[in-house]
A = this chain, B = another copy of it.
Amino acid sequence: MLKTPYLLFLGDAADPLAAKVAQGVKDWRPDYSVGQYRLADCNADMGLPDLDIKAAAEAGAKTLVVGVANRGGVISDAWIKVFEEALLNGLDIASGLHNLLRDIPSLVSLAEKHKRKLIDVRVPTVEYPIANGKRRSGKRCLAVGTDCSVGKMYTALSMEKVMRERGMKASFRATGQTGILITGDGVPLDAVIADFMAGSVEYLTPDNDPDHWDLIEGQGSLYHASYSGVTMALIHGGAPDALILCHEPTRAHMRGLPEYSLPSLAELRDTAVTLARVVNPDVKVTGASINTSALDDTKARQLLDSIEQELGVAAVDPFRYGADRLVDALA
């Protein structure tokens, strides 16, 4: 979907957090980028060579990836000027912003003239099929959460990294815009039309070698009233062999829903397994991925121990202690 290598556009990022897409590319696909492009007042730095558009094109860059969230939802004139120069110099542009590249006339006409692509990764471009529920070859692992934003993408990416380091066959399968920009491909699941959600996940995770693992990026939560339908489609479209339960232990309520408390990991396990068995009777919960960033080392280890005892599966914080035991448990 996206051609590599990238030039990472950091724009006028207010702080490093505003450039989290660029950070994701840097962390998980370090060999994808030839450099970064920063405007004068940029407060983020990926430690990559600062290249102007001409230098990036000469270095072989094929796609300018917008690695920064814009201020107030507007694509500024200063950004557009850079994008125009990128198109003039033969680069595609890829963005996950809410405001679409395709809605900016000067970019559309330049892209047409120079036969370059404007890739708004939030918008599906494929006509996905309706799910057929057929078993596929290869293995699939899906991260499911007690809530949104509890580390599902990080869990899958860190497992993929360990597996590749071990020489295992593994593919992270992106289902959201950040993941798509990081890996260059995927399905923007939250923008897919209801009837085709599960089919788009089948499309994303096709037949593969018997010893190949898809590590499917989770979305939402079965217990999140706003997005549970998306999670459900991931479970039935993904037909996972392995489920990883993801959790943030200090969260006071479901994200965006102050009246809702989080389910327990055991509740999530029972519900997710019941539903996943519909499409894959052999599904197993193989691990728990706990975001312990708010806890000190002693408390974090105590919590992981107690979860491990309660659930009877490996409980780790992959960011803090590595994803190795989550990968061990797949075997």
| Cα–Cα, bound, A311→B83 (Å) | 63
**Closest chain B residue to A129, Cβ basis:** B226
Q: Are A199 and B228 CB-contacts (below 8 A) given A191-B193, A271-B274, A275-B271?
A: no
Are A259 and B130 neighbours in the complex by a CB distance under 8 Å?
no
Q: Is there a chain B Cβ closer than 8 Å to A142's Cβ?
A: no
Q: Is there a chain B Cβ closer than 8 Å to A232's Cβ?
A: yes
| A194, A235, A254, A256 interface centre (most CB from chain B within 10 Å) | A194
Of B192, B193, B260, which is within 8 A of A133 by CB?
Answer: B260
| Cα–Cα, bound, A181→B276 (Å) | 35
Are B229 and A233 neighbours in the complex by a CB distance under 8 Å?
yes
Of B191, B226, B230, which is within 8 A of A229 by CB?
Answer: B230
| Cα–Cα, bound, A235→B223 (Å) | 11
Are B237 and A225 neighbours in the complex by a CB distance under 8 Å?
yes
Number of identical monomers bound together in the oligomeric complex: 2
Q: Please, which residues of chain B bring their CB within 8 A of the CB of A297?
A: none
Q: Is there a chain B Cβ closer than 8 Å to A198's Cβ?
A: yes
| Cα–Cα, bound, A278→B132 (Å) | 29
Q: Please, which residues of chain B bring their CB within 8 A of the CB of A134?
A: 259
Q: Are A225 and B278 CB-contacts (below 8 A) given A133-B257, A133-B260?
A: yes
Are B226 and A130 neighbours in the complex by a CB distance under 8 Å?
yes
Binding site for B on A (CB under 8 A): 130-135, 189-195, 197-199, 222-223, 225-233, 235-237, 239, 254, 256-257, 259-260, 263, 271, 274-275, 278-279
Ordered by A's residue number, 21 sampled pairs between the chains whose C-beta atoms are within 8 Å are A133-B226, A133-B257, A133-B259, A133-B260, A191-B194, A191-B195, A193-B193, A194-B229, A195-B226, A195-B227, A198-B229, A199-B226, A222-B232, A223-B278, A225-B236, A226-B236, A228-B232, A229-B229, A229-B233, A229-B236, A260-B278
